[in-house]
Structures are given as C-alpha cells and as structure tokens.
C-alpha cells in the first residue's frame, strides 16, 4: 500500500498464484496442469482436457464418463431462448449474439447468483460445503454444455434456419458440428450430402481436427479475456455474467479476432509475390503482421506447430486453401527477416487457425466464436480456482497515477467562455 508502480499493460505484474497453466515464453513451452500441450493434443480429448484444467488431475474412466454425460446433457436449451435469438438482426455479428446469450443464460439460473443467494454462495465452496460445491459444478457443466448450443444458435439464426437440438451419442465437437449442420462450400464437412435424406454426420477427420483446436485454445494463462474473467468475478457476479465479460474481451482484434485479421491480411496481400511489399509496409509501421508476435512467447508459439499439422490433415479432406501459398511465403520470409527476428516475432496460434476454419467453410466473423467455445473451459478453471481460494476472494481494484488538472473552482454554464 502507498507505493504505486506504473505498469502499462501489466507487462510485469503478477496478480494471482495459479496452478492451472504453465508457459515458458522463451523456450516455447506450454503445459496444462503440468502435462505438455503436444501430448494432450495427440493423446487426449477436449472434454478430458476440460476436466484436467478445471479439477487439476486427469480423470479416471468413471470420472470422465460422468463428466462427459453431465456436460453433454446440459447442452439442451429452454425453448424460450428461441425468441431471444430471433430478436437479433439477420446480419448481427455472432460475437455480439454470443456475448449477450451468456448474460441472458444467467437470468435462468438464480441458484448461481450471489446477489440472490447471498454473498457467501461461493465462499461456502471454499469451506468444502458439499451442496455449494455441487451447485458450482452444475454451473460449470451447464456453461460448457451450453457453449456449443448457444454458438450454434448464433450461427444458424443468421441463416434464418431452425435450431438443432443437441444429439445424443456424439462427442463434444461432433455434437457441435451436428448442431451447426454446416453448409460447407466443398460439402466436405459432412460424410452425408446436405441434399440427401440421410441424417447429417460430422466428418471424423474434421471433428478430430476441431477437437485438437479446442484443446489448444482451452486455456492460455492470464491472457486478456481470462484476466477480464477474474476481474469481473472478483466482485462476485454469477458465472454467466463472468463468462459474458470474458467473451467481450476476446472479441477484440488483438486477442480472439486475430485469426480473422490474418485472413483479411492474406486476402489483401493476394499472392506470394506481393509478400515483400507487404513486409516492407509492416516495417514502416503502416501495417501489422497479424498472427505474429505474442506478449509471452519470444519464440514460436508451440501451438502453431501442432496447428500447422492439423491444417495439413484438414486440407486432405477439404482441399488446400487458395491462401495457403501466400501464408507459407509470408511465414518463411518473416522468419528470415531481421526486423522480425530481432523483435522475437514468431507465428502465434492464430496464424494457421483461420486458414483451417476457412477451409472448413466457416465465415470469418464466426472465427472468434470458435475460440470462445473452448476458452469457456479456461475461464471457468480460473474462476473456480479464485472462488475456492482459501484466502477468500479479494476484489480487483487497481490504482492509477492521476495526471489530470489540479483542483479548480466550478464555472457556471452562463459564465463559461
């Protein structure tokens, strides 16, 4: 107290102690609860990683089956929600719909709201109260389960299509693809033709690719949106409002909007021969090389290597994206260029992810939604960890350094010049 350190953009401020995700930015290392991201991406499933991130250890078969069942059952939405989604304009940005939808969801569940149930609703969890802990778990299952449903509803309402009830007997990502029942331009999204009477079946390679992308996006330590989640959560609103706050933060082009910015950049470059001119403009600070650079990684983001391989798998089904050659040229040229090397700017997770989503036929403005769905897990892991802190929750209230005018007397309106 008393001494204030000015740290613009939190470059050097640690605000929590956490045991969720470890990043070594100098050596390109990322681990969830101690497990290397490379092993999780090749051996695990998204819901298994979700359990790991939230509860701290890998689940047994029985724990995983129960978790999967609870999450998937909670995918069902109240029929009244149809009216909420239909109230948006046909061209509303899906992130605007999704952000609002999470807050709207909270209005159904007063049981999760400390303003209604008492300020000690979650402190009881920290003290090990089994009923309070069960209540907290229920909100977690529900938020993860409904994230795909809300995202699919935001997607379909813009196409004027009916909503799809979450199926049974499918994995989390298969269920998501099923609910989207996506009209891919290549028709490769599904193993059944959209014109046939056969029920829609997500393509197994694309479903697994999406599952890996979801694992890679599930958490990333104290990024802007997870910080927002903790900041919002520290005043004890319900977890639905907390997730809506995270969504709002992720929406920005410097965070969850970066993969969309990559595609716009590649389209504007047009072809590999225009790459040198584009990089020259970046060096003159007229342009930003989207998908490059990271606050923490000062070498390649380890997720970018995994995602590059996933892209190859996806392209075997969808065919290569026409922007791939430009992306490769840009990637290779930038990594050789002293401007980027000296600033330790390397590809981040978003450099390739947009190309995968594009090849799968998703519209660009849906890319951030594909980031939110898995990141809900990371947000909830951070929120739960804070709520269960044995020291209790401390409201996040930073200080500023005031640089405005000193005290001055008020001037009446008719006396102002």
Q: Any idea which residues carry the catalytic annotation?
A: 294, 350
Which residue lies nearer to ligand CMC by CB, 41 or 81?
41
3-state secondary structure the chain: CCCCCCCHHHCCCCCCCCCCEEEECCCCEEEECCEEHHHHHHHCCHHHHHHHHHHCCCCCHHHHHHHHHHHHHCCCCCCCHHHHHHCCCCCCCHHHHHHHHHHHHHCCCHHHCHHHHCCCCCHHHHCCCHHHHHHHHHHHHHHHHHHHHHHHHHHHHCCCCCCCCCCCCCCHHHHHHHHHCCCCCCCCCECCCCCCCCCCCECHHHHHHHHHHHHHHCCCCCCHHHHHHHHHHCCCCCHHHHHHHHHHHHCCCCCCCHHHHHHHHHHHHCCHHHHHHHHHHHHCCCCCCCCECCCCCCCCCHHHHHHHHHHHHHHHHHCCCCCHHHHHHHHHHHHHCHHHHHCCCCECCHHHHHHHHHHCCCCHHHHHHHHHHHHHHHHHHHHHHHHCCCCCCCCCCCCCCCCCCCCCCCCCHHHCC
Q: Closest separation between CB of residue 118 and ligand CMC, Å?
A: 36
Q: Closest separation between CB of residue 223 and ligand CMC, Å?
A: 5
Q: Closest separation between CB of residue 360 and ligand CMC, Å?
A: 19
Q: Closest separation between CB of residue 258 and ligand CMC, Å?
A: 3
Which residue lies nearer to ligand CMC by CB, 10 or 87?
10
For tokens 């940005």, the residue is 93
Determine the 3-state secondary structure of 400 from DSSP: coil
Nearest alpha carbon to residue 362 among 347, 377, 373: 373
Q: Closest separation between CB of residue 6 and ligand CMC, Å?
A: 16
Query: H-helix or E-strand containing 35?
Result: strand 35-36
Which residue lies nearer to ligand CMC by CB, 138 or 255?
255
Q: Cα(366)–Cα(205) distance, rounded to whole angstroms?
A: 20
Query: H-helix or E-strand containing 31?
Result: strand 29-32
Q: Cα(201)–Cα(178) distance, rounded to whole angstroms?
A: 7
Which residue lies nearer to ligand CMC by CB, 190 or 231?
231
Residue 347 dihedral angles phi and psi, to the nearest 5°? -65, 140
Q: Closest separation between CB of residue 168 and ligand CMC, Å?
A: 33
Which residue lies nearer to ligand CMC by CB, 106 or 291?
291
Q: Closest separation between CB of residue 12 and ligand CMC, Å?
A: 12
Q: Closest separation between CB of residue 106 and ligand CMC, Å?
A: 25
Which residue lies nearer to ligand CMC by CB, 290 or 318?
290
Nearest alpha carbon to residue 159 among 81, 89, 90, 85: 90
Residue 104 dihedral angles phi and psi, to the nearest 5°? -60, -40
> Which residue is nearest to ligand CMC, using beta carbons?
293
Which residue lies nearer to ligand CMC by CB, 124 or 217?
217
Which residue lies nearer to ligand CMC by CB, 207 or 279?
279
Rule CB under 6 A: which residues touch ligand CMC? 223, 254-256, 258, 282, 288-295, 343, 345, 348-350
């Amino acid at each position: 107290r008393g001494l204030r350190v000015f740290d613009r953009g939190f470059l050097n401020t640690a605000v929590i102690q956490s045991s969720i995700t470890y990043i070594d930015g100098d050596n390109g290392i990322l681990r969830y609860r101690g497990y290397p991201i490379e092993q999780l991406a090749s051996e695990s499933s998204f819901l298994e990683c979700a359990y790991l991130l939230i509860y701290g250890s890998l689940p047994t078969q029985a724990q995983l089956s129960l978790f999967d069942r609870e999450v998937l059952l909670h995918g069902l939405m109240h029929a009244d929600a149809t009216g909420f989604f239909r109230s948006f304009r046909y061209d509303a940005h899906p992130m605007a719909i999704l952000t609002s939808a999470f807050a709207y969801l909270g209005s159904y569940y007063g049981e999760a709201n400390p303003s209604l149930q008492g300020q000690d609703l979650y402190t009881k969890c920290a003290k090990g109260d089994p009923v309070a802990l069960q209540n907290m778990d229920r909100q977690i299952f529900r938020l993860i389960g409904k994230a795909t449903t809300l995202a699919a509803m935001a997607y379909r309402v813009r196409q004027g299509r009916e909503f799809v009830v979450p199926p049974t007997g499918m994995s989390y990502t298969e269920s998501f693809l099923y609910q989207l029942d996506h009209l891919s331009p290549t028709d490769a999204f599904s193993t059944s033709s959209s014109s046939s009477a056969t029920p829609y079946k997500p393509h197994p390679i694309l479903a697994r690719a999406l599952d890996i992308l979801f694992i890679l996006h599930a958490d990333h330590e104290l990024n802007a949106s997870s910080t927002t989640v903790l900041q919002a959560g520290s005043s004890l609103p319900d977890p639905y409002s907390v997730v809506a706050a995270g969504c709002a933060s992720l929406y920005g082009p410097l965070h969850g909007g970066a993969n969309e910015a990559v595609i716009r950049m590649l389209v504007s470059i047009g072809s590999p021969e225009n790459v040198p001119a584009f990089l020259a403009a970046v060096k003159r600070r007229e342009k930003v090389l989207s998908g490059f650079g990271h606050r923490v990684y000062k070498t390649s983001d380890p997720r970018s290597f995994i995602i590059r391989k996933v892209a190859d798998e996806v392209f075997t089904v969808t065919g290569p994206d026409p922007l791939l050659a430009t992306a490769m040229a840009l990637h290779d040229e930038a990594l050789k260029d002293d401007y980027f090397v000296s600033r330790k700017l390397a590809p981040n997770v978003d450099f390739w992810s947009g190309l995968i989503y594009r090849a799968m036929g998703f519209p660009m403005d849906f890319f951030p939604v594909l980031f939110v769905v898995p990141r809900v897990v990371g947000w909830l892991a951070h929120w739960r960890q804070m709520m269960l802190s044995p020291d209790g929750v401390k409201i996040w209230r930073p200080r500023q350094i005031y640089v405005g005018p000193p005290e001055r007397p008020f001037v009446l309106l008719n006396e102002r010049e």
